[in-house]
Structure 1
């Protein structure tokens, strides 16, 4: 006999669950309601091995066995994703043939993997060439949190584009928990991205990053304001995050908010707050932002020395 009122607690929790499900319109008891976080995590881990088998695959794998390992692991990962995709589509109740839609999405995801690997190779090279401390591309793949976050993001973004946003968000948040880098799966990130150090980086859902963008730790690409509807609820889905063009560098602690454009080749210095467009080639530092408080115009491009 337990010392605790277990039956009473169980009954009370059941009542709370039933109230919640009724409020949410969730009364179907014949299927699993939600995708499994653990199942998605296992599938994503397997996919990382598929993408980089000798680096992120099993320790006993050798080059001669790569194709066999990839074929076996990929099939298992895709079957797991297919099962979770069915659950998500049933959960979202968008109508149609759930099995066929899930199969089409996972098939398209599988066909995107070669291009996804090519994107990641450019990210890896950007990290290797952009960090003087990096001794090899293998070190970058094996140990850099920014690369791990981008592997998860490119998997998650592909799922997001295939209208599996819940699976995508789970995949993205797995990397967030491991690295401290928070990238919404909806964000569009061009090839050759380098997130250096990475802790505290936040990239919002509708952010767009061009090619060869470099971001340091504690950078935020966020929304400036959140309009509400007539009922006071936040309006979702509208563009509200920065557009960062090619070859931009954003130093540690910078905060860029709203639907603003950071022009090609601009440099955003550390710990600055940006809420307006930045021209191509501009250098924005704390000093130039302070000068802007005395003028209604945004600071003009400054010489390289301003970053010293």
Structure 2
């Protein structure tokens, strides 16, 4: 087969006219600049807001290809939300430093804790998700996912003072609801019981009430599953039904000690 025929076949199968991968890189650049603008003391806020607006316009051009869903005016509203987002993120950082005995300073949390970074990018993406801004919120949280191992869908609803410790392997689904002062450890999954396209507009992921602690590798599934306030979910627990307030749920391993056949 000659080169011309091969090129023609490749072009024939490139079926997505709006699939421009440079959008990913532009989202990552926008996300980094936004993070630094909010947190880095040496990054000028006033100057960067103008730069961020220009970069946001580029995202609009690349992501908003459906003409019946205009998103040009989203920036002004989003910019107005940033002080409130920053206030929530500062509470998240304070929750981490007050709960984790390994944290030596609040600055360490902002710069070195992958859980905090994942929460920060989620909160920044969530406001765009609420406005119906296409694709960009998911690209933002996937950027954080790639860097931290934490997969938070931008559609999840997360309250104040959220703490993810160690972070790696945490998965939080699109319709999960997490209320205030919740602590989550590595490997926790807040997922769906079933995966089917016709469930797209239904609540598929659990609700976690105030002051709940979920230890490593616990799995909580289902849109009707509610973990009552002040409860503790132990490591490796598998939960698919609601748990009343002030409960402790734990997994009990079966331990068998292997002995030598002729041991006395």
TM-score, structure 1 normalization: 0.77
Among 239, 252, 258, the alignment partner of 2:216 is 252
Consecutive unaligned residues of structure 1, counting only runs of 5 or more, are 27-31, 55-60, 228-232, 291-308
Q: Match of 1:285?
A: 250
Q: Match of 1:268?
A: 233
Q: Match of 2:92?
A: 123
Q: Match of 1:216?
A: 185
Among 150, 163, 168, the alignment partner of 1:199 is 168
CA–CA distance in 2 between the matches of 1:167 and 1:88?
7
Q: Match of 1:47?
A: 34
Question: Does residue 9 of structure 2 align to residue 12 of structure 1?
Answer: yes
CA–CA distance in 1 between the matches of 2:220 and 2:90?
27
* Cα RMSD (Å): 1.9
Deviations 1:180-238 (A, max 9, x none): 000000001111000000100000000000011000000000000134xxxxx543121
CA–CA distance in 1 between the matches of 2:199 and 2:220?
21
Instruction: Give the conservation status (yes or no) of the 8 Å contact 1:125–1:137.
Output: yes
Q: Secondary structure at the match of 1:36?
A: helix
Instruction: Give the conservation status (yes or no) of the 8 Å contact 1:85–1:167.
Output: no
Q: Secondary structure at the match of 2:186?
A: coil
CA–CA distance in 1 between the matches of 2:228 and 2:127?
26
Instruction: Give the conservation status (yes or no) of the 8 Å contact 2:163–2:183.
Output: yes
TM-score, structure 2 normalization: 0.90
CA–CA distance in 2 between the matches of 1:216 and 1:161?
27
Q: Match of 2:109?
A: 140
Instruction: Give the conservation status (yes or no) of the 8 Å contact 1:254–1:272.
Output: yes
Moved more, 209-218 or 7-16: 7-16
Q: Match of 1:239?
A: 203
Instruction: Give the conservation status (yes or no) of the 8 Å contact 2:235–2:250.
Output: yes
CA–CA distance in 2 between the matches of 1:36 and 1:197?
30
Mapping of residues 152-191 of structure 1, within 5 Å: 152-191=121-160
CA–CA distance in 2 between the matches of 1:235 and 1:85?
29
Instruction: Give the conservation status (yes or no) of the 8 Å contact 1:43–1:78.
Output: no
Cα distance change on mapping 1:284 and 1:109 into 2, 3 Å: same
Consecutive unaligned residues of structure 2, counting only runs of 5 or more, are 255-264
CA–CA distance in 2 between the matches of 1:283 and 1:142?
33
Give the CA deviation at 1:162.
1.1
Give the CA deviation at 1:108.
0.8
Instruction: Give the conservation status (yes or no) of the 8 Å contact 1:251–1:270.
Output: yes
